Amino acid sequence: MNMIFSLIWFIIIFSIVVTSHEFGHFIVAKANGIRVKEFMVGLGPVLFKWKKGNTTYKICLLPLGGACVYDGMDELEDDVIMGTEQTEDAEEVKDKSKFLHANPWVKFAVLIAGPLFNFILGFIVAFVMVNMIVIREPVITELIEGGAAESAGLLPGDKIVAIDGESIYLYDEITVYTSLYHGGEVLVTYERDGQRANTVMTPLYDEDYGRYLFGIINDTYVEELHGTDAFRYTWYEMRYNVRMVWKSLGGLITGRLSRKNVAGPVGVVNMVGDIIEETSPYGWQTVLVNMLNLMLLLTVNLGVFNLLPVPALDGGRLLFVILEILRGKPVPAKKEAYVHLAGMVLLLIIVVVVFFNDIHNIFM
């Protein structure tokens, strides 16, 4: 039964995240006169489909992705795969309602809209979470005896405001820092009785947690919001999640994070199950908050990931649009399609690797 609930929550969360992304592309494309041939949520066999205007809408069986297919894009990709020589550039009169022939600034807006709508969804989710009072400020409520913070002279009640010069607004930001820490002294700026001071500490490795720790505990939450606090803390939550995703990507590239820190769809379903099991004794509101927190992380993750300059992703396509703006003419469409096709193959390989990594993490 727990697996069924986990799967249902995963489908709801992932479908909302993917739909928001594709809807961003869709609505901006439509607003700028670009024909959208298909708007699809999910992958695999089609469960439902209907047509309105020039667009066919599809809901597919597997909630693992989606697509917004602009007029002309699928034809060009088919030409490349089949090895045919017909190209869009050969047309005497270029149809501006086709994505490839649209104004480059319009194409830029359409491509950036997907990740942007992920961040908009994230802001909405963070705002709801903040108003459910789930905020922990970086205030020390307890010191672990013999820990790095105690040795550095910190006291209960001290508020950490910066680490190595980077501002800290939420307690969870400290957790992210220690997850990526691999040795060396850390400059900590803290506030005590309204006065700021600096200290230097060296986090200690904890065998039980499997990572370095500051040796501090925070078990209090903000009890009441005043004035614009909700918007301020919403911004802090968004900032924290974007920075966490960005630093985690950097950690994977540099090797500071291992494959155990990577999760695909199977891993996320398993994570949802763990969350339900751990939080259900505390009531449905606690479960809901944690599901919203997971949705926030996933939508920010999708937004940041799609902005990476990788072929086939929005970021990779944006690079070609920027080149078009700088050159005053587009890169030959067929050449661009070959690059994105190679990127798509690479992404499929990554998907397979992540899938088997999920299985390994769950059963090994």
Question: Are the C-beta atoms of residues 178 and 203 closer than 8 Å to each other?
Answer: yes
What is the CB neighbour count within 10 angstroms for residue 203? 21
Domain 141-220, second-level architecture: Roll (2.30)
Backbone angles phi, psi at 45, to 5 degrees: -60, 140
End-to-end CA distance of the chain: 23
CA distance 343 to 349: 10
What 8-state DSSP symbol labels residue 308?
S
Q: What is the pLDDT of residue 77?
A: 54
Residue type, position 74, single letter: D
Q: What is the pLDDT of residue 91?
A: 45
Q: What is the pLDDT of residue 58?
A: 93
Q: What is the pLDDT of residue 88?
A: 46
CA distance 65 to 95: 29
Per-residue confidence in pLDDT tens, the chain, 364 aa: 567 778 888 888 989 999 999 999 999 999 999 999 999 998 889 999 999 988 999 999 887 788 899 886 655 555 555 555 444 444 445 677 888 888 999 999 999 999 999 999 999 999 999 998 789 999 999 999 989 999 999 999 999 999 999 999 999 999 888 888 878 899 999 999 999 999 999 999 888 877 889 999 998 888 888 889 999 999 999 999 998 888 877 776 766 665 666 666 666 777 788 888 888 888 888 889 889 999 999 999 999 999 999 888 899 999 999 999 999 888 888 888 888 888 888 888 877 777 666 666 666 6
Cross-strand pairs, 30: none
Q: What is the pLDDT of residue 355?
A: 67
CA distance 202 to 329: 54
Q: What is the pLDDT of residue 273?
A: 81
